[in-house]
Amino acid sequence: MIKNKKINTFKMTELAILTAIVLVLQLSGTAIKLGGTSISLVLIPIVLGAVLLGPSAGAWLGFVFGTVTFIAGVTGLDSFTQILFINHPFITALICFGKAIFAGLAAGFIYRALVKFNPYIAAIAAAAVAPIVNTGLFILGGLTMTGTLATNFAEPAGQSVIYFLIIGCAGLNFIFELLLNLILSPVIYRVSLIVKKSAHKNQTNL
């Protein structure tokens, strides 16, 4: 029982650290915009949490990410999300939380499915799937608010809603987030090895 408590405490500590990192990075990233939306610097710690602690941890970290994004929209810290919230509060909430939570879940499940075959490939796949799911669900959600996007963003810029949403709004962000995750995927792999070796060593010493 003591052994299990120490293991659980170790995991909770890891999750608390990653949660703090997500909060700091998302608050910082809100002020950095590519195209019409803020970039998501938090996908790396979300993927790392999903790799180290499983899909549920990835989902929790995604929830924290979604919470900060939603609050930034409600308070006006993120003007793009605020406009969506004013016109479609329920859908905006679903997008903010849904895309983030499912990005963490997907990273965890992909890693779990592939890690037995090749841990390095599993880490790369987890790092890649997070921005794909995050951006994909954002675009799908945006398609339910075409009127608001057209009036406030696309038409003033002389663009179609589809072009604005996929290219002008999500395109640059997606490329940046995907490349960043792929570049740092070896780091995710190395960190996961170090943490897991440390955890195994602590277990054997209990």
| pLDDT at position 193 | 76
| pLDDT at position 20 | 93
If you average pLDDT over every residue of the chain, what do you get? 87
| pLDDT at position 106 | 97
Q: What's the token pair of residue 59?
A: 């989902």
pLDDT tens-digit readout, 99-134: 999 999 999 999 999 999 999 999 999 999 999 999
pLDDT tens-digit readout, 64-73: 999 999 999 9
| pLDDT at position 90 | 97
| pLDDT at position 171 | 78
Cα–Cα dist 2/4, whole Å: 5
pLDDT band at 198 (very low <50, low <70, confident <90, very high): low
What percentage of the chain exceeds 90 in pLDDT?
55
End-to-end distance of the chain based on CA atoms, in angstroms? 11
| pLDDT at position 77 | 87
Task: Tell me if residue 76 falls in helix, strand or coil.
Answer: coil
Residue whose C-alpha is closest to residue 56's, from 112, 1, 3, 9: 112
Cα–Cα dist 189/87, whole Å: 42
Cα–Cα dist 50/104, whole Å: 6
Domain limits, the chain = 2-205
Cα–Cα dist 105/117, whole Å: 20
Find the mean pLDDT for residues 186-193: 81
Q: Is-contact 81 91, C-beta < 8 A?
A: no
The reply to whether CATH 1.10.1760.20 applies to domain 2-205 is: yes
Cα dihedral 202, 51, 19, 89 in deg (nearest 10)? -160
205: exposed, middle or buried (C-beta count within 10 Å: 0-12, 13-18, 19+)?
exposed
Residue whose C-alpha is closest to residue 43's, from 194, 144, 183, 193: 183
| pLDDT at position 203 | 54
pTM, rounded to two decimals: 0.89
pLDDT tens-digit readout, 128-187: 999 999 999 999 999 999 999 999 988 888 889 899 888 878 877 888 888 888 888 888
Residue whose C-alpha is closest to residue 149's, from 74, 96, 79, 80: 80
DSSP string, 86-98: HH-HHHHHHHHHH
Judge whether residue 202 has pLDDT over 90.
no
